[in-house]
Structure 1
Amino acid sequence: MLKDFSLQSLFMGLLVAFVGFASSFSVVLQGLEGVGATPAQSASGLMALSVAMGLAGIVLSVATRMPVSIAWSTPGAALLATAGVQGGGFAAAVGAFVLANILIVAAGLMRPVGRAISAIPAPLANAMLAGVLMGLCFAPVQAVAFNPFLGLPIVIAWAVVGAFNKLLAVPAALVAFVLVLIFGVDIAPDAWSGLGEAIIPRLEWVTPHFSVQAAISIALPLFIVTMASQNIPGVAILNINHYRPNAGRLFSLTGLFSLPAAFFGGHGVNLAAITAAMCAGEDAHADPKRRYWAAIIAGIGYVLLGLLSGVVVAVVMLAPPILIEAVAGLALIGAFTGSAMAAFKDADTREAAAATFLVSASGVSFFGISGAFWGLLSGLAIFGFQQLYAFRNSKEK
């Protein structure tokens, strides 16, 4: 195994860990806070997720000798940010995390469950995700309106660096955020003193509370979004690069690695999509049989970054919330455009996708259940009526 190690894989793995963490940790924090987590619970959840995806990436890559890149569910975190606090508070959200991960394990082990999620039309799943993401993508504009001197540098850094290298665009926005925090935000001198204590990693146990409301508002949409936008594309990227893993087994194992993290506030980890392409491509190594080391190095990097999550959260708490929301919004623009294009590409499902998108984006909830669920349900209803009408027409002819 050590003979397959290379400096090329080392550099790519370090880049993957940096990009994977820096580009979306703000989305995770915003999502956890959106369902009621305290700053300490958010830091714990971020740490649990980062360590879980690091360990999962290491173990699965070593076991399969394939570059199995693992990530936290960024679309899932975005969904949490719009779901709202459920009855029972953050404990209810943790109960939903546990249920969602059990469903992912079942999807890998039980073919009917996997077929059921695959049967949901991809345009509708993408429309639900686009609807959830749209409101979050307004944050950069809102940050500029809040204070142009604070918001504009973050947006400009993202746009300028992204013109040359899209992968580094969000890390550049994060660097701009730190500089704005240091030079532009009036912070009391004693506020920095808490950073020393934050260096010590702390996990916060959360006893889950299970409720039907949280299961429908959080667990089910989280399961669908994670499978449709992360796990299935993750396997596809490995296949494109001529790797043929047992997809069901990988799904189940990511769910199993996620379960312990859920009790410490982490919503879940899954197969990566964007960083999977980095680890599985030629840039990781010319020899496909040696690229798995890039995923191993990335996993080690995630574990180390996770141990610093307390410092990350402590720094973020020093700034006006809209600024870190702006970074999160910029990180989600690519996901929004991709999901929106996929949602409305097919003319046959365009109306159903539009209904899903509009209801999901509305942010309204009925009976305490979030709009993401109702958006998917309305889209499926319209799609079903259209399919029934088309079937009856074909019978009459």
Structure 2
Amino acid sequence: MTGLKLSHLVTALIAVLLGYTSSAAIIFQAIDAVGASPAEATSWMLALGLGTGLSCLILSLRYRMPILTAWSTPGAALLAVGLQGMSLPEATGAFLFCAALLTLTGITGWFERVSHLIPEALGSALLAGILFRFGLEIFASMEEDLPMVAVMCVTYLVARRALPRYAIPLVLVAGCAMAWGTGAFELSGTGGIDWTMARPVFTWPEFTLTGLIGVGLPLYIVTMSSQNVPGVVTLRAAGYRVPVSASISVTGLISLLMAPFGGFAFNLAAITAAICAGPEADEDPTGRYKAAALAGVFYSVVGLMGGAIIGLFLVAPQALIATIAGLALLNTIGSSLTAAMDRPDQREAALVTFMATVSGVGFLGIGAPLWALVFGGATLLVLRWRRPAAI
């Protein structure tokens, strides 16, 4: 892989930083729920990092697209509640059941056929709604650390005028320098970190009806509706003809491989993929896959280090992470909103999709992204329906 740029490196780092800091705490809750030992907990983090890294590398290098993958964060939230009172072997059996369903979904190709039915305007509105809260976090972070956020925003504006290609790298440098200078990095708790390499711990699965139906099936549904649907929409909105079936087959097979070690489910990423698929990664769309491939390398390295590097990720001030993520996604949010509102005949349906996504509505175990498409699609069908002409 030749022709690497600074923007590829920085974008990949931002994506991995956001991926870990936004979900590490939830994963730890899921690990506690199943009563895993420290060695087993480290194995979980190893499996999640390596699984994500390998699938990123395989897909981005094979298809030359910024196909970023992730573990299922909504799935981790479900596990934090659903695994209470369940043994680790039972949980492993549920993970394998979910992985088998994901693999079958990719092999049969039914999900790819369904995904082509999503109108472009609704897909763009869904993406804008998913990313919208990251833009809002820039301003919410001002209450936490106004000087640092102000320095980062001013740096962004100046760099966009003078050095647009390096705007996000310069913002990251300015934010880190400001956080370091003001002592915002919480380094006091890192003295006890174990820097040894993580080791996998194999768990023999135990298949029970409670585990398969109560955890495995909901994990599959949440992963497909809240992760894979937005992941497909994100790449299509960026102009890529994503190989949906192949991507889900790869993440499903990786899930099967990593499940006995704690890798509960892998899927297409949406938010971190939007970072690597945007112009901040590379002005040339054909070169953005390199940022995704580098993210795969970084995920693998972090996984091999177990909880050590993850602990370092967690000491970064939240205002720094929220601001850099929001600024990196501004361009994508704007272009998605423009595409969503571009067609007058789909504008109201797109607006319904956008608002439903932003609301975070979820019931029947299904998250906002899928319900937003249902509501938006129903709106579009009703507004387009015409009575048959009288004979």
Instruction: State the TM-score, normalizing by the size of structure 2.
Output: 0.70
Structure 1 gap segments, 5+ residues each: 1-8, 238-245, 285-290
The residue identity in structure 2 corresponding to 1:372 is P
The Cα shift of 1:133 comes to 2.0
Query: Which residue number in structure 2 is paired with residue 142 of structure 1?
Result: 140
Contact 1:44 1:309 in 2 (8 A): yes
After superposition, residues 47-58 of structure 1 pair within 5 angstroms as 48=47, 51-56=50-55
CA contact (8 A) 2:64 2:286 kept: no
SS for the counterpart of 1:12 is coil
How far apart, in 1, do the equivalents of 2:164 and 2:95 lie? 31
Q: Residues 375, 189 of structure 1: CA spacing in aligned structure 2 closer, same or farther, 3 A cutoff? A: closer
CA deviation after TM superposition for structure 1 residue 122, in Å:
2.5
What are the superposed Cα offsets for residues 210-234 of structure 1, whole Å, 9 maximum, x if unpaired? 2666555553131211222237867
SS of the counterpart of 1:23?
helix
Q: 2:233 aligned with 1:228, yes or no? A: yes
Does the C-alpha gap of structure 1 residues 25 and 168 become closer, same or farther in structure 2, counting only changes over 3 Å?
A: farther
- Equivalent runs, 1:291-302 vs 2, <5 Å: 300=297
Give me the whole-angstrom Cα distance separating, in 2, the residues matched to 1:173 and 1:12.
20
Contact 2:43 2:199 in 1 (8 A): yes
Displacement of 1:356 in angstroms is 1.3
Deviations along 1:303-322, whole A, 9 cap, x unmatched? 34554574543233324434
> 1:318 pairs with 305, 315, 324, which one?
315
Residue 151 of structure 2 is matched in structure 1 by: 153
Q: Which amino acid aligns with 2:4?
A: M
1:27 maps to a residue whose letter is L
Q: Which residue of structure 2 aligns with residue 122 of structure 1? A: 120
What whole-Å deviation, never above 9, does each CA across 1:233-292 have from its counterpart, x for those lacking one?
Answer: 67538xxxxxxxx774455234433554574366434696775797996996xxxxxx99
Partner of 2:108: 110
2:13 aligns with 22
**1:47–1:357: structure 2 CA closer, same or farther, 3 Å change rule?**
farther
Q: In 1, Cα distance between the equivalents of 2:95 and 2:28?
A: 13
Q: Judge conservation of contact 2:112–2:244 (CA < 8 Å) in 1.
A: no
Distance 2:382 2:303 in 1: 47
Please give the secondary structure, in 2, of the residue aligned with 1:268. Answer: strand
Partner of 2:359 in structure 1? 362
2:2 paired residue among 10, 17, 21: 10
Task: Note closer, same or farther for the CA distance 1:43–1:346 as it changes in structure 2 (3 Å cut).
Answer: farther
- Size of the alignment, in residue pairs? 363
- Give 1:331 shift: 3.1
- How far apart in 1 are the matches of 2:374 and 2:140? 31
Deviation at 1:339, TM superposition (A): 2.4
Render the CA deviation track for 1:174-229: whole Å, top value 9, x for unaligned: 3334323322136677434145x256446798998626665555531312112222
* 1:278-357 pair list within 5 angstroms: 300=297, 303-304=300-301, 306-307=303-304, 310-357=307-354
- TM-aligned CA deviation for residue 355 of structure 1: 1.0
C-alpha spacing 1:200/1:39, structure 2 compared with 1 (3 Å): farther
Give the secondary-structure state (helix, strand or coil) at the position aligned to 2:18.
helix
Q: Residues 247 and 91 of structure 1: is their aligned pair in 2 closer, same or farther, counting only changes over 3 Å?
A: same
Residue correspondence of structure 1 range 386-397 to structure 2 within 5 A: 386-387=383-384, 389-390=385-386, 392=387, 395-396=389-390
Asked whether the 8 Å contact 2:67–2:235 carries over to 1, the reply is no
SS, match of residue 174 in structure 2: helix
- Name the SS of the counterpart of 2:227 in structure 1: helix
Whether the 8 Å CA contact 2:82–2:215 is kept in 1: the answer is: no
Mean Cα deviation higher: 119-128 or 271-280: 271-280
CA distance in 2, matches of 1:341, 1:164: 25
Aligned mates of 2:117, 2:364 — CA distance in 1: 27
Task: Give the Cα separation in 1 of the matches to 2:28 and 2:300.
Answer: 22
TM-aligned CA distance change 1:280 to 1:145, over 3 Å: closer
Cα distance in 1, alignment partners of residues 31 and 174 from structure 2: 25
CA distance in 2, matches of 1:147, 1:153: 10
Does residue 268 of structure 1 match 2:260?
Answer: no
For residues 230 and 344 of structure 2, the distance between their equivalents in structure 1, rounded to whole angstroms, comes to 22
Which deviates further from its counterpart, 259-268 or 340-349? Answer: 259-268
- Once the two structures are superposed, the pairs formed by residues 176-195 of structure 1 within 5 Å of their partners are 176-185=174-183, 190-195=188-193
Q: C-alpha displacement at 1:53, in angstroms?
A: 4.9
**Identity over aligned pairs, percent:** 24
Maintained 8 Å contact 2:275/2:328: no
* Secondary structure in structure 1 of the residue aligned to 2:68: strand
Distance across 2 between alignment mates of 1:162 and 1:46: 37
Look up the SS of the partner of 2:263 in the other structure.
coil
Q: Spell out, residue by residue over 1:127-178, the C-alpha distance to the aligned partner (whole angstroms, 9 max, x if none).
A: 2222222223211111122221232233334444444555644443333343
Contact 1:128 1:357 in 2 (8 A): yes
Alignment partners' CA distance in 1, 2:187 and 2:247: 48
The residue number in structure 2 matching 1:172 is 170
Residue in 1 that maps onto 2:81 = 89
How far, CA to CA, are the matches of 1:155 and 1:189 in structure 2? 25
